[in-house]
Amino acid sequence: MTGKESTLSHYLKSPTLIVIVFVVLGILIARILGMSTLDTLMTIMYFMGIALSLNIIMGFAGYVSFGHAVFLGLGGYAYVLLVYFVKPLAQLQNMGFGLGAFLVAVLAGLFAAVIAASVGAAVLRLRGAFFAIATIGLDFTALYLMKAIVPELNPEQFFGAQIILPADKIVEKDVVFNAMFLTLIILLAVNYYIRKSPFGVGLTAIKEDEDAAEVLGVPTTMFKIIAFTLAGFFAGMVGALFSLNGGGVDETLFNLGHSIDMIVMIVIGGLGTVLGPVVGSLIYFELYDLLLVHYPGVNLIILGIIVAIVVLFFPEGLIGLLRKYKVKGVRLRDLLE
Amino acid sequence: MDVSILAINLVNGFLWGIILGFAAVGLTLLWGVMKVVNLAQGEAILMGSYVAIVLFSQYGISPLIGGLVALLVGLAAGFLIYWALLHKLVGKVEKITLKIEMSTLLAMFALSIALLNFYYYIFGSEPRGFGLWSIGLPFIRVLGTTIRTNILLADALALISVTIVYLFLDRTILGKSIRAVMQDAQAASLVGINPVKIKLLTTVLGIGLTVFSGFMVLLFEASVTPEIAYKYAPLGFVVVVLGGLGSVVGSLVAGIIIGIIYGLSKVVVSIFNPRISDPVALSTAFIVLILILLFKPEGIFGRKR
């Protein structure tokens, strides 16, 4: 992977990129032709978005964060509070067919990123389960603080931590779609770039053996903080647009259930790859839908069992499994990233 | 400020802290001995609560016997969890690496998804409990405040249980071998301790105690919903980290500390704004967690790693 070789034609040979482009075009075509409802597409993009955002820290750097939903929540609250109290932003979000909403979501994402960077500088010193537990702690701290702060901001309008956006501050759903679509494309590109870049190689080194990576000159602390900040930023953006789509926000956005979704998708798809979360989120969405339709009530029980089976018997996930095989003499390991 | 309000909150925090501490004993054993972080901690607690509830409401069996049955169910559950999930991941492994730790984390996580939704499916989200059941009078007056007798019963049971567990680990050969594996698994196997046997025993004991603590949690809370898992599991992690991995006494002391911090911060916050005192007080526990992780990661009673 020398710099000179990485021209456009080089990238086009990569099936990973083709799958990504295919997925993006697929969503776009389904939207234009009306093959699927807007809500379905939003849900798919939301799933893919949260999986890809956590992937930056969990997939590449190997830091499992059980409290990643905290950034979803922070982004959601930041967005809703911004458009609720700042008039120009409420006007901005309706402009440019989603570009305005995208820009406000960037602000919300930046808020989440600032929290991620400052907290990350501290908690990323922890490893393994301690890190996972610390992020759960962060999630609950943020949850309880929101429960305490939000009702005080506007006691007459905000019931508990729930904020419902008034009609004049809501954006039409197809505009939100555009903003989410744009976010997803950027998120895919960032994931792909990280995978290809020296930064990504450094993160992988951290995942394999952090001490060895440090000795070999990888600036581990800085890399981890950057990865965590990026993960927080994008989770914040997705959380913001998800809330906007729902017309408001409440404390359920901090639920560990959202962290569960992200982790399960990455684990099913395959840790440490770009394709893993993409494929994983598509499978997860189908599975979720299928189980919900056929086995309402017990769907999540079955899901838990499936995850246990994947963890015990296919710990590398679907893409990890495929990477072990050869097709026509070509090792899939070299193709699937 | 009214002194009696402070006293009431401190006493309540203390009584709650004992329950919190006992509920985390199983967690600290599993984590300390096997590096298994039981993310299904809250669900294990609920298992004990629901076993006692079902026996009481369906078959009219006294909660005291129900609690005992909960312990037995918990031990059996520990046995199953070890052979179904953990043995494949940590059973034969001498040194538990970060990667294996992550796999067990995810496996317990999967268990928690399945169990929690099983509870929602069977019991729904309505609160369930023993109704008006209590031994003797439902309330007693202590120092000018009323306390439910069930809370005192729960605390007494928790303290007795912690003492028994402590004596088991401290005095018996089996208990000593558990502690030996906790300190150095390789050295322990060199002196003839069968690590698989100890890991199985730890899981059975750890899960059993956690499930049993669900009975005390129910007595304390008066009623439970599946939501309780989201309250007790994270607090359990706080208690374990504060008390030091694998330390039973540390767990109890840390539980009481967290309970008292909760009571105190509730009083302090309610001076400024009574409506937000509960959420802010709960968040202090997690701020304590992050501070402890950063500045004294071995906890109060833990050894330096």
Contact check, Cβ <8 Å, B106/A62: no
Retrieve residue A313's tokens: 């018997």
Handedness of CA A29, A33, A37, A39 (dihedral sign): positive
With tokens 């992988």, the residue in question is: A204
Q: Is A308 on the interface with B (CB under 8 A)?
A: yes
Length of chain A: 337
Neighbours of A167 (CB within 10 A): 7
Which residues of B fall within a CB distance of 8 Å from A301? 113-114, 117-118, 121
The residue-averaged pLDDT of A75-93 equals 87
Whole-number pLDDT of residue B280: 82
Structural domain contains residue A28: no
The confidence score (pLDDT) of residue A3 equals 47
Check CB contact under 8 Å for A129 and B37.
yes
Question: What is the residue-averaged pLDDT of chain A?
Answer: 85
Reported as a pLDDT band with limits 50, 70 and 90, residue A230 is very high
Q: What is the pLDDT of residues A254-291, one digit of tens each?
A: 888 888 888 888 888 888 888 889 999 999 888 888 88
Q: Which of A64, A303, A315 sits opposite B105 (nearest CB)?
A: A64
Which pLDDT score is estimated for A257?
80
Residue A156 sits in a domain whose CATH number is 1.10.3470
A176, two tokens = 């939100």
Euclidean distance between CA atoms B78 and B76, whole angstroms:
5
CA torsion through residues B107, B35, A223, A198, sign: negative
- Tell me if chain B has a CB within 8 Å of the CB of A125: yes
Asked if residue A9 belongs to a domain, the reply is no
- Cβ of B286 and A301 within 8 Å? no
Yes or no, beta carbons of A300 and B117 under 8 Å apart: yes
For B305, the token pair is 């790693």
What's the pLDDT score for residue A1?
A: 44
pLDDT of residue B41: 93
Residue A262 lies in a domain: yes
Q: Let me know if residue A109 belongs to a domain.
A: yes
Which residue would you say has higher pLDDT here, B297 or A186?
A: A186
Q: Report the SS3 class of residue A330.
A: strand
Q: Is residue A187 part of a domain?
A: yes
pLDDT at B191 over 90: no
Q: Which residue of A lies nearest to B108 if distances are taken between CA atoms?
A: A308
Q: Residue B5, class by beta-carbon neighbours within 10 Å (0-12 exposed, 13-18 middle, 19+ buried)?
A: middle
pTM above 0.80, yes or no: yes
Sorting pLDDT into bands at 50, 70 and 90, what band is A13?
low
pLDDT in the model for residue A133: 82
* Cβ pair A300:B230 closer than 8 A: no
Q: Indicate if the pLDDT at residue A121 is higher than 70.
A: yes
Separation of alpha carbons B153 and B139, rounded Å: 12
Residue range B103-125, pLDDT digits in tens: 888 889 889 989 999 999 999 88
Query: Residue A249: beta bridge partners?
Result: A163
Q: From B236, which residue of chain A is nearest by alpha-carbon distance?
A: A133
Structural domain span for residue A88 = 43-335
Q: How far apart are CA B208 and CA B200, in angstroms?
A: 12
Average pLDDT, chain B: 88
Q: Is A27 exposed, middle or buried (0-12, 13-18, 19+ CB in 10 A)?
A: buried
pLDDT at B90 over 80: yes
Q: Note whether A188 and A52 are within 8 A (CB).
A: yes
Q: Which of A119, A122, A267 sits opposite B106 (nearest CB)?
A: A267
Interface test with A, best of B100, B109, B227 (most A CBs within 10 A): B109
Shortest alpha-carbon distance between residue B21 and chain A (Å): 17
Does A307 contact B89 at a Cβ distance shorter than 8 Å?
A: no
What are the CA-CA distances from residue A25 to residues A21, A22, A179, A180, A184 (Å)? 6, 5, 16, 14, 12
- The domain total for chain A is 1
DSSP state of B275: G
Q: What does the longest C-alpha to C-alpha distance in chain A come to?
A: 68
Tell me which of B28, B102, B261 to substitute to probe the interface with A (most A C-beta atoms closer than 10 Å). Answer: B102
**Dist CA B70 CA B50 (whole Å):** 8
Window 238-297 of A: residues touching B by CB (8 A cutoff) are: 255-256, 260, 263-264, 267, 297
B154 min Cα distance to partner chain A (Å): 26
B111, B113, B286 member nearest A260 (Cβ): B113
pLDDT at residue number A2: 46
Helix (H, G, I), strand (E, B) or coil at A159: strand
Residue B95's pLDDT is 78
Quick check: B42 and A66 in contact, CB under 8 A? no
Q: What is the pLDDT of residues B7-52, one digit of tens each?
A: 888 888 999 999 999 999 999 999 988 888 898 999 999 999 999 9
By CA distance, what is A267's nearest residue in B? B106
Task: Please judge whether A138 and B286 are an interchain contact, meaning their C-beta atoms are less than 8 angstroms apart.
Answer: yes
Q: Could you tell me if residue A115 is inside a domain?
A: yes
Q: Which residue of B has its CA nearest to A257?
A: B113
- Whether B282 and chain A come into contact, CB under 8 Å, resolves to yes
**CA-wise closest residue to B84 among B106, B111, B102:** B111
Instruction: Determine, for residues A263 and B109 on separate chains, whether the beta-carbon distance falls below 8 Å.
Output: yes
Instruction: Give the residue from B52, B47, B55 showing the smallest Cα distance to B75.
Output: B47
Average confidence (pLDDT) over B139-157: 85
- Of A1-10, A189-198, B214-223, the range with the lowest mean pLDDT is A1-10
CB-CB contact of B284 with B261 (8 Å): yes
The dihedral through the CA atoms of B41, B46, B52, B58 has a sign that is: negative
Contacts of A128 in chain B (CB under 8 A): 98, 101-102
Structural domain contains residue A33: no
Give yes or no for residue A7 having a pLDDT over 70.
no
Asked if the structure places residue A146 within a domain, the reply is yes
Residue-wise pLDDT tens digits, B251-298: 999 999 999 998 888 888 888 777 777 778 888 888 888 788 778 878
pLDDT, position A9:
58
Evaluate if residue A307 carries a pLDDT over 80.
yes
Is A152 in a helix, a strand, or coil?
helix
Shortest CB distance from A129 goes to which of B101, B115, B273? B101
Asked if B293's CB is within 8 angstroms of A138's CB, the reply is no
- pLDDT of A214 strictly over 70: yes
Of the two residues A117 and A312, the one the predictor is more confident about is A117
For an interface test with B, give the residue of A63, A130, A133 to mutate (most B CBs within 10 A).
Answer: A133
ipTM confidence score: 0.80
Minimal CA separation from A237 to chain B, in Å: 25
Using DSSP's 3-state secondary structure scheme, residue A336 falls into: coil
Contact call for residues B98 and A127 (beta carbons, < 8 A): yes
Q: How confident is the model at residue A73 (pLDDT cuts 50, 70, 90)?
A: very high
Quick one: closest CA in B to A266, which residue? B106
